[in-house]
Amino acid sequence: MANSDPTSLTQATLPAANRALLLATLAFAACFSVWTLYAVMGITLQVQLNLTATEYGVLLAAPIFTGAILRLPLGILADKISARLLWLVQMLAVVPALLLLPLANSYSSYLLLGLWFGISGVSFSLGVRYVSQWFASSSQGRALGLFGVGNAGVAITFVLVPLAIEYVGWHWVGPIYGTGLLLITVLFALLAPKEPTQDTAARPALSLRQLSTDARIWRFSLYYYFVFGSFLALLLWLPQYYMQAYRMDVQQAMAFTLFFAATSSMVRALGGWFADRYGGRAVNWSVFWVCIVCLFFLSYPPTTLVIHGLEKDVQLEIAMNVWWFTLLIFIIGVAQGFGRASVYKVLHDYYPHHMGSAGGFVAAIGALGGCTLPIMFGVAQDVLGIVTGCFMILYGVLALCMITMFFANQAAQYQQKLIAAQANNFLLTDDDSTDE
């Protein structure tokens, strides 16, 4: 089903590859800024609508949910027809929802419109399929890493939305975004080159049944659930976290979150280069170790410890100040940026001709992390009553990823040793034993 020998792909980088990559990255950045619109709007809506932490998490998750569940079917479709054409249709479909945003006046209406403009999240699956067709296998890590820099489109939201609110008013945010996305759509339609001709008959798209029964795909999806899903969940959740834990105002919280999101997005290209040079698995394993150490410290809630001495009590305050917290979040963000690039490098090694379907499946599960994790963050905060509950959940998710990766690597090494033993007649195959 998959191409298990990465060296068998001999495709060369095509002449218009760099122009395709540039236009795809710009379009992805625009779509990603729309997809994360509630990361900034949500804080104001939480106050206006008097939302609980759980309701706030659901609001943040609404656009992410639509983008997640549509990534798989449209990714499969992109293996059959033009990903470029599907991308143009997707962007046009989002514009009306943004224009209608000023008419929303209730929690349910914001949820419905969020589900609508969340279609913009499909852009990643379509872009991966579009970009991967232009570059040779040896350059896929770099190319997809550069394309992933479009995650920095969230910076547009963190900068543009506050400016729009200050100078033209709250109700103009949606129309401004709708107009901007429409302009990007026209630019992409005019300048983005059409895909090279593909022999889809010789390489039919993978079916949902094939994808859902492939254990390797599920492992890659779990890894991406952490490196992308938790990144997405954190950029949605961090503004509120900074405001609650460190008593920041909205502008300060946005600035710190923007630093996390921008740095994590920009290093993705460097992560792709590392994956090309040192291998995606090695990069992934390093990323997981770095993140789990950081999450161990972030998970510990502010604590007051009283030690009863012989003559007096000694009180210890255990808490992380904002600068140490930001440093650990920065390290996690950089590691996640490397991880997002390396997962797709490994994915292309195994599924070079099915990056729409295989990439769409992995992207869908990863995006579901950005949908489910904010809800779990809100529930943990409401139930436990501690602000660091979100990092406890991420620690558990990452521990599961590392355990899965360890046993998968052990199984792969065993298979390699078994094949080598059979090749050198150290073990008899089933055919050999039958002949005797």
CATH number of the domain bearing residue 321: 1.20.1250.20
What does the pLDDT look like over 54-108, one tens digit per residue? 888 889 889 989 988 898 888 888 888 888 999 999 999 999 999 999 898 889 9
Domain that holds residue 126: 12-194+205-431
| pLDDT value of residue 433 | 45
What does the pLDDT look like over 372-397, one tens digit per residue? 888 888 888 888 888 888 899 999 88
Residue 172 domain-assigned (yes or no): yes
**Could you tell me the sign of the dihedral formed by the alpha carbons of 155, 156, 161, 167, in that order?**
positive
Residue 6 has pLDDT above 60, yes or no: no
Which of 235-265 are b and which e, b meaning 16 or more Cβ less than 10 Å from the residue's Cβ?
bbbbbbbbbebbebebeebbebbbbbbbbbb
Residue 115 domain-assigned (yes or no): yes
| pLDDT value of residue 179 | 93
10 Å Cβ neighbour count for 37?
25
Which of 55-66 are b and which e, b meaning 16 or more Cβ less than 10 Å from the residue's Cβ?
bbbbbbbbbbbb
Residue 389 domain-assigned (yes or no): yes
Give me the chain's average pLDDT, please. Answer: 83
Mean pLDDT in residue range 415-422: 70
| pLDDT value of residue 312 | 82
Residue 127 has pLDDT above 70, yes or no: yes
| pLDDT value of residue 90 | 94
Residue indicated by tokens 């932490």: 53
Residue 87 domain-assigned (yes or no): yes
Q: How many Å apart are CA 382 and CA 83, to the nearest integer?
A: 42
In this structure, what DSSP letter does residue 204 have? P
What does the pLDDT look like over 333-346, one tens digit per residue? 999 989 888 888 88
Residue 129 domain-assigned (yes or no): yes
Mean pLDDT in residue range 308-315: 79
Two structure tokens written together for 228: 């992308």
Residue 58 domain-assigned (yes or no): yes
| pLDDT value of residue 201 | 43
More confident site: 286 or 412 = 286
Mean pLDDT in residue range 279-287: 84
Residue 5 domain-assigned (yes or no): no
What does the pLDDT look like over 166-183, one tens digit per residue? 888 778 888 999 999 999
Number of domains in the chain: 1
Residue 214 domain-assigned (yes or no): yes
Strand partners, 63: none
Q: What's the full length of the chain, in residues? A: 436
